Chain A
Amino acid sequence: MMGSNVGYFFTKTCIIAIPYDLLVLLDEIGFNHQNKFNNHAQMRYESAISGGPKHELVEDGNVLMQKYEFGKILGQGNFAKVYHGRDLKSNENIAIKVIDKEKVLKVGLIDQTKREISVMGMVKHPNIIQLYEVMATKTKIYFAMEYAKGGELFDKVAKGRLKEDVARKYFQQLICAVDFCHTRGVYHRDLKPENLLLDEYGNLKVTDFGLSAHTDCTRLDGLLHTTCGTPAYVAPEVISRRGYDGAKADIWSCGVILFVLLTSQLPFNDPNIMQMYKKISKAEYKCPHSFPPEVRRLLKRILDPNPITRISMKKIMENSWFKKGLDTKQMNDSDLKPHFEPKKPDFTKFNAFDIISLSTGFDLSGLFVGSDQKDEAKFTSTKPASDVISKLEQIAAGLKMEVCMKKGGLLKIKKPSESRNGPLLIDVEIFEITSSFHLVELKKSSGDALEYQKLFKQDIKPALQELVWAWHGE
């Protein structure tokens, strides 16, 4: 039993999907000037390490871009090799990942955004491997990254299960790292043992954030288990290829990892891949008797096959077992780069279609009523959402109206009214277009239309003016 698990841990066959966009971008910005590099020197280098890749950027034996020195190979997969390296300027240890573009392209790429790369390049979190630089040639991509001296976390687990406190510490660090990225719109989508490393002090370092994506391995040759390692960590909705929420999929993988840390066994395991899928889709797993009940409960909430009811990051972080002994310093962003604001309130994030659906061109109500008789109004604002809310509260107070906050940036403003149509209720919704632009929508949800229009025109609209960048449809 144990043997087969260990086999998974050591299967180094991860595929790294690089977004086609990025490849194009890299080509566009001219990283492929091969003439700059000395191919003879490169040949020499290759003969020095057997089976080494063709480093077109390598010159003077083993130096990349005149900045990074190559060392011994640390690991290799079908598409990538990772080398130990040294930053010649700072003399720091680094890791250099070399990816064969052509092989990656052949597999068919998952369209991952350039943004994720660029975000990951800037992100600094104690539990995330930092990406220093991306370089590319026509055939290869090079990532210069933080070097994790402690190796893979799963080398440790393979020797036997971890003590509860130790497992929790790694789980806490994993959750903090993953949550940090989620709040920035970056999802890992491929959390698995190969991607969890340790630094020299034994701190967890998640790698390949924003680089990896779930690769559709079955398309390659139908032999998922041989080409892509194991689906053991993948959420059921990802396997069934439904459109999925990256955050919820990552949470599932974190649950599998927690189970493995505590038992050194996979929760879903079967030599038959179809049986494994079956177990995953039904979340069929057995906790050992030694598991404390609170761990069982937490795992049950994480390994929920329904992504919608599956526990959220926020709730995991509120869980009492999770919080035990948590170093709160890790939870806040204080030691991070200042250009990342603290976690934003939970406003509805707009996707591109949300944005275009706002167009007044879609609003056919003009065919039926005049523009001053509409029951709703929208404006954009460059002010922070908190300013919008406090302004609305101020206006409501002046009009003797009540404000209640609802989740997701929805406010309800209520005016008790004697009119026969009942109390006047106005819904205000705040949407985030970008961090510096919000869209605010006011809408009468019940009450007398005339009363609303009068109130809006005479009191609300003028008072809001200082927040307004532009009124929509005017």
Chain B
Amino acid sequence: MGCVCSSGVKHTPGYEDPALLAKETPFTVSEVEALYELFKKLSSSIINDGRIHKEEFQLALFRNRNRRNLFADRIFDLFDQKRNGVIEFGEFVRSLGVFHPNTPVEDKITFAFRLYDLRRTGFIEKEELTEMVIALLHESDLVLSEDVIEVIVDKTFNDADIKGDGKIDKDEWKQFVANNPSLIKNMTLPYLK
């Protein structure tokens, strides 16, 4: 299978020039080239079409192509900038750039906000936060009563929703992360450095 690639000419359909991508992202040209090798591996694991499908993404993260996860779904959706259901090489590099240790914190904060704004309303609403907490608990085999979940969510909203309008906007989110910097720890991948 891999023998075709050795010709070095044929690129995946969404291929972009590593030098240009390196300019846009915290990666060096050689790092982008290394990411291209990784991308080729990931994008051919199930369907060899040079694009990462959701199942391929799940397979890479969980070693299980059928394992669904709300948050992995969200990451996939944000990586898929063109919103055509697959991740192309350029999208892959630009999005991974957010997770680079050298990327400015503001970019990470913004990315996390978009992740958590499940319905893309420009706000994180209470229902969204509740849905995400339930998803995480489910993932961890934790069962908490609705009351307890509500308490946790309400408490968080109390602290984060400064204006008290029942939703968290971008500015409130920035402030909240400033007070709780550990919240965006998951937006940095040490492996990228």
Residues in A lying within 8 Å of B, measured CB to CB: 20-21, 108-115, 185, 241-243, 245, 350-371, 380, 433-434, 437, 469-470, 472-473
Q: Are B148 and A359 in contact (CB under 8 A)?
A: no
* Residue of B whose beta carbon sits closest to that of A366: B61
CB distance A361 to B158 under 8 Å?
no
Given the contacts A365-B189, A367-B38, A469-B142, A351 and B155 also touching, CB distance less than 8 Å: yes
Chain A residues, Cβ within 8 Å of B146: none
A113 to B184, CA, bound (A): 26
Q: In the complex the two chains form, is A354's CB within 8 Å of B141's CB? A: no
Q: Which of B71, B129, B141, B165 has the most CB of A within 10 A?
A: B71
Task: Note all chain A residues with C-beta closer than 8 A to B187.
Answer: 362
B29 on interface, CB distance cutoff 8 Å: no
Q: Which residues of A contact B72 (CB under 8 A)?
A: 359-362
Complex A-B, nearest 6 residue pairs according to Cβ-Cβ distance, in ascending order: A361-B71, A361-B72, A113-B154, A352-B156, A361-B69, A359-B71
Q: Are the CB atoms of B99 and A364 closer together than 8 Å?
A: yes
Chain A residues within an 8 Å CB radius of B137: 355
Tell me whether A352 and B158 are in contact in the complex, defined as CB-CB below 8 angstroms, given that A359-B71, A364-B75, A437-B144 are known contacts. no
Beta-carbon contact of B132 and A356 below 8 Å:
yes
Residue B121 at the A interface, CB < 8 A?
A: no
A363 in contact with B186 (CB, 8 Å)? yes
B129's nearest neighbour on chain A, judged by CB, is A352
Q: Is the CB of A110 within 8 A of B164?
A: yes
Residue of B nearest to A17 (CB): B164
Kindly name the residue among A243, A350, A368, A437 whose own CB sees the greatest number of chain B CB atoms within 10 A.
A243
| Residue on B nearest A113 in the bound complex, by CB | B154
The listed residue (A21, A115, A360) touching B69 by CB distance below 8 A is A360
Q: How far is the CB of A122 from chain B (nearest CB, A)?
A: 13
- Residues on the B chain within 8 Å of A354, using CB: 180, 182-183
* Residue B15 is within 8 A (CB to CB) of chain A in the complex: no
Question: Among residues 44 to 103 in chain B, which have CB atoms less than 8 Å away from a CB atom of chain A?
Answer: 60-63, 69-75, 96, 99
11 A-B pairs whose Cβ atoms sit less than 8 Å apart in the complex: A111-B164, A115-B150, A243-B178, A243-B179, A351-B155, A352-B129, A353-B160, A359-B70, A359-B135, A361-B61, A365-B189
Query: Considering the chains assembled together, what is the distance between the CA atoms of A108 and B116 in angstroms?
Result: 27
Q: Is B105 an interface residue (CB 8 A)?
A: no
Inter-chain contact B186/A357, CB cutoff 8 Å = yes
Q: Say if the beta carbon of B161 comes within 8 Å of chain A.
A: yes
Which residues of B lie under 8 Å from residue A367 when comparing CB positions? 38, 42, 60-61
| B153 interface hit (Cβ, 8 Å) | yes
Return the contact of B140 from the options A109, A368, A470 (Cβ within 8 A): A470
A113→B151 contact, CB < 8 A: yes
B159 at the interface (CB under 8 A from A): yes
Whether B139 sits at the interface, judged by CB under 8 Å, is: yes
Contact assessment for A355 and B152 in the assembled complex, using a CB-CB cutoff below 8 Å: yes
- Shortest C-beta distance, A365 to chain B (Å), equals 6
List chain A residues, Cβ under 8 A from B189.
364-365, 368
B159 & A243 in contact (Cβ 8 Å cutoff): yes
Cβ 8 A contact of B156, one of A353, A362, A368, A473? A353
Known: A366-B61, A367-B38. A352 touches B133 (CB 8 A): yes
Q: Select which of B38, B60, B148, B159 is within 8 A of A434 by beta carbon.
A: B148
Q: Taking each of B61, B140, B141, which has the highest tally of chain A beta carbons within 10 Å of its own beta carbon?
A: B140
Known: A243-B176, A433-B142, A437-B144. A362 touches B63 (CB 8 A): no
